[in-house]
Structure 1
Amino acid sequence: MNIVLWIIAGVLAAAFLGAGLLKLSQPKEKLAASGMGWAESFGAGTVKLIGALEVLAAVGLILPALLDVVPVLVPLAALGLVLVMIGAAVTHARRKESQAIVINVVLLILAVVVVWGRFGPYSFTS
């Protein structure tokens, strides 16, 4: 199960690193025009904040455990992604973007598995 948790954390980290860097590097108008219509509902600073949180979570899913420095940050990063995905699902539900909600729920479930595994039976302190 430890290997499965590492794989899930790696997939989540890759997805959120890419998404976060995109939000940090592009103006919200360009994001909205390229398939992230939800960005229209938020200020530019909020979009950048979401991107920064996603990048920090991506780093937090991998580096603490890899470097064996405060590995409790791994499930905390995953918990942060759970909260981000809940917010994203609510936003997409309000905008009636059902396909995006499915993606949010899948990412949320993967993050919950990491939270459960790393806080529970497969923590790095065991």
Structure 2
Amino acid sequence: MRILSLGLTLLLAACASQGDKATIDWQHYAQADTLDIFSPSFSHFEVVNPDQVVLWQSPNRAVLVTVIGACFFNDSSPVLRFTSGMSQVRRDHDAILYDNQRCPISRIQPLDIRKMKKDGVLK
């Protein structure tokens, strides 16, 4: 019985921690001005919705990229590439290559990391 109780506790804790990440309103922290071009050098990425991904360029710099249609169903794929390679990525021209899919980029928005930290969303 103790093992079952411990297992349920761990499962609930895992679900709770997943829920915290999913509750971030990324669009709220996206700046209104969109970028037409950006450099795709990033340290890691985070799938936040089926049609959005956050590219972290540094701990204090990130962009929210929106694609046309739902593309990010499998958030465990470790590789994200661009049709332009690692040169400049252009909105409405380039696409994200992810999990054997081609996802056209419709919007690139810088995130207000300072505001996210101030609001306690990020540490």
Both proteins in one fold, TM over 0.5: no
Relative to total residues, which structure has the larger strand share, 1 or 2? 2
Relative to total residues, which structure has the larger helix share, 1 or 2? 1
- TM-score, scaled relative to structure 1: 0.27
- TM-score, scaled relative to structure 2: 0.28
Q: Which one has the largest radius of gyration? A: 2
